[in-house]
């Protein structure tokens, strides 16, 4: 099984090169089906979700790159790029997807609650991926001043498994799950030093059944991988060789062994951000405002740099469930800059009961996307 993946990748890369040599009319590409779905019978039998690859992601593109996608033609152009460059990705998934989903479920002890999962393929994204919505960049990680090449080949597959591992853990927040009480475990707090490390432990245990160890180590020791996984040293020293996941002792078992006052929980606290003394920089006290009348469950102040900074998050509210954290600085809402609480409330209320709200926040010097959906529409 370890070497099957190499054969699959070789075949799909050959197929993609062959297809790239033929002329594909633009109009034909525009009318292609924008999603790909793997066969369902086995998935239903194993109670696994059906995974679809979604390429028509105009709304996401505008939300995360509003300045770059003002022109509709640019959106169509980049969607066509995705359509022409996703075949190897989809082919590998069609061969290994069922195994990956089932293995993640076995090694986590967390059953999939979702019936369907959309994997949104974009040409560019602001990071190497996101759990919910599940986003994967094909071409690059595009920030304001530079573009970094997105993971490819084995690295891309490992990255996808890591994102799906996080998505599997998020099943604990789905209604009717048998282990809902574990969803609030401190080690599952949305942080690069907690949730991401739990997802990485699960992903690595799954990947070890697919790839040789030298390939995995090459990925884990690469500079791009370390740069996008700031908790790597903590993982290497305290998770990798201590949390050995198996069907008998899955991820839930190891989480249950860590009490809320365990040394590992103390160790994995994110580095504290030094707060600015607003009394020294302004003559007035910042006003604490509760977003949308408490419906979302978070409060903000306008800090000295003009950002709306989250100062309180209700652990029972929607914002907490969607991953918003104290000290997050809100940069954009659905692609638009927000300068005051009134604007923030208006933009959230305008979309929260329709297609949802995408917020771009600054956290620990990294830009992170947050998707807010009303509880009845979460997936």
Give per-residue pLDDT as tens, 222-244: 988 888 888 888 898 899 999 99
Alpha carbons 141 and 136: distance in angstroms, whole number: 10
Q: Which of 139-147's residues contact partners 24+ apart within 8 Å by CB, and which partners?
A: 139/81, 139/85, 141/228, 142/65, 143/367
pLDDT confidence bin for 340, thresholds 50/70/90: confident
Alpha carbons 245 and 197: distance in angstroms, whole number: 13
For 348-376, what is the mean pLDDT?
74
Per-residue pLDDT, 245:
95
In terms of pLDDT, which residue wins out, 200 or 70? Answer: 200
pLDDT confidence bin for 280, thresholds 50/70/90: very low
Which numeric CATH code is attached to 278-377?
2.30.42.10
Which residue in 248, 162, 154, 268 sits closest to 205, CA to CA? 162
Whether the predicted pLDDT of 251 surpasses 90: yes
pLDDT confidence bin for 378, thresholds 50/70/90: very low
Which residue in 240, 219, 79, 229 sits closest to 157, CA to CA? 219
In terms of pLDDT, which residue wins out, 192 or 111? Answer: 111
Q: How many CA atoms lie within 13 A of 293 on its CB side?
A: 2
Most confident of 20-34, 184-198, 328-342, 354-368: 184-198
Alpha carbons 97 and 94: distance in angstroms, whole number: 6
pLDDT digits (tens, 9 = 90+) for 117-126: 999 999 999 8
Whether the predicted pLDDT of 186 surpasses 60: yes
| pLDDT above 90 coverage of the chain, percent | 35
DSSP 317: S
Q: Which helix (H) or strand (E) element contains residue 334?
A: none
Whether the predicted pLDDT of 273 surpasses 60: no
pLDDT digits (tens, 9 = 90+) for 16-58: 433 333 332 332 333 344 444 444 545 555 789 999 999 999 9
In terms of pLDDT, which residue wins out, 373 or 345? Answer: 345
Which residue in 33, 161, 141, 142 sits closest to 89, CA to CA? 161
Whether the predicted pLDDT of 275 surpasses 70: no
Per-residue pLDDT, 78:
94
Q: Tokens standing for 125?
A: 């994204």
Q: Tokens standing for 162?
A: 């890591």
Residue 54, by phi and psi: left (phi above 0), alpha (psi -120 to 50) or beta?
beta
In terms of pLDDT, which residue wins out, 182 or 290? Answer: 182
DSSP 379: -
Q: Tokens standing for 375?
A: 């509880």
Among 134-143, 164-173, 280-289, the range scoring the smallest mean pLDDT is 280-289
**E-assigned strand segments in the chain:** 35-37, 50-54, 116-125, 134-142, 147-149, 289-290, 298-302, 308-313, 329-333, 336-337, 357-363, 366-372
Alpha carbons 329 and 301: distance in angstroms, whole number: 10
- The answer to whether 152 touches 166, Cβ cutoff 8 Å, is no
Per-residue pLDDT, 237:
87
Q: Tokens standing for 36?
A: 């790909």
DSSP 259: -
Pairing mode, strands 298-302 and 329-333: unpaired
- The answer to whether 211 touches 204, Cβ cutoff 8 Å, is no
Mean pLDDT estimate for the chain:
78
Q: Would you call 347 helix, strand, or coil by DSSP?
A: helix
For 352-376, what is the mean pLDDT?
73
* Axis crossing angle, helix 4-20 with helix 72-85, rounded to the nearest 10: 130
pLDDT confidence bin for 375, thresholds 50/70/90: low
Q: Tokens standing for 177?
A: 């799950």
Among 94-103, 277-286, 365-374, the range scoring the smallest mean pLDDT is 277-286
Alpha carbons 202 and 249: distance in angstroms, whole number: 12
- Cβ partners under 8 Å of residue 65, min gap 6: 124, 142, 335
Whether the predicted pLDDT of 279 surpasses 50: no
Q: Per DSSP, what are the bridge partners of residue 36?
A: 53
Which residue in 163, 152, 158 sits closest to 129, CA to CA? 163
For 65-69, what is the mean pLDDT?
87
What is the tally of helices (H) and strands (E) in the chain? 16, 12
Domain ranges of the chain: 4-256, 278-377
Alpha carbons 135 and 60: distance in angstroms, whole number: 9
Burial of 293 from C-beta contacts in 10 A (0-12 / 13-18 / 19+) = exposed
Rg of the chain in Å (alpha carbons): 21
Alpha carbons 196 and 295: distance in angstroms, whole number: 28
pLDDT confidence bin for 2, thresholds 50/70/90: very low
């Amino acid at each position: 099984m370890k070497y099957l993946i190499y054969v699959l990748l070789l075949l799909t890369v050959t197929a993609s090169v062959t297809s790239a040599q033929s002329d594909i009319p633009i109009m034909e590409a525009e009318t292609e089906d924008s999603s790909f779905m793997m066969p369902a019978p086995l998935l239903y039998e194993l109670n696994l979700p059906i995974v679809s690859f979604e390429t028509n992601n105009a709304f996401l593109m505008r939300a995360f790159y509003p300045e770059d996608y003002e022109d509709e033609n640019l959106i169509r152009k980049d969607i066509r790029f995705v359509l022409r460059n996703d075949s190897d990705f989809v082919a590998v998934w069609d061969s290994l997807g069922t195994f990956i989903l089932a293995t993640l479920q076995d090694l986590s002890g967390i059953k999939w609650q979702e019936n369907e999962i959309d994997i949104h393929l974009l040409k560019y994204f602001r990071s190497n991926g996101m759990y919910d919505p599940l986003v994967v960049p094909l071409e690059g990680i595009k920030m304001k001043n530079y573009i970094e090449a997105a993971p490819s080949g084995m690295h891309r597959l490992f990255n996808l498994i890591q994102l799906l591992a996080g998505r599997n853990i998020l099943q604990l927040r789905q209604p009717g799950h048998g282990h809902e009480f574990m969803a609030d475990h401190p080690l599952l707090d949305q942080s690069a030093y907690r949730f991401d490390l739990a997802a990485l432990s699960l992903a690595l245990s799954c990947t070890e059944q697919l790839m040789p160890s030298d390939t995995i180590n090459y990925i884990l020791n690469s500079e791009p991988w370390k740069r996008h996984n700031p908790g790597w040293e903590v993982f290497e020293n305290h998770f990798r060789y201590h949390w050995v996941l198996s069907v008998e002792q899955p991820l839930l078992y190891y989480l249950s062994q860590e009490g809320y006052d365990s040394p590992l929980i103390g160790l994995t606290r994110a580095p504290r951000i030094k707060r600015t003394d607003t009394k020294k920089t302004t003559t007035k006290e910042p006003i604490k405002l509760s977003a949308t009348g408490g419906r979302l469950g978070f409060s903000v102040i306008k800090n000295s740099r003009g950002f709306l900074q989250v100062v309180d998050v209700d652990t029972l509210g929607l914002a907490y469930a969607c991953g918003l954290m104290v000290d997050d600085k809100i940069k954009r809402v659905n692609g638009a800059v927000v300068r005051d609480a009134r604007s923030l409330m208006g933009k959230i209320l305008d979309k929260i009961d329709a297609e949802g709200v995408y917020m771009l926040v600054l956290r620990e010097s990294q830009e992170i996307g947050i998707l807010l959906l009303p509880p009845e529409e979460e997936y």
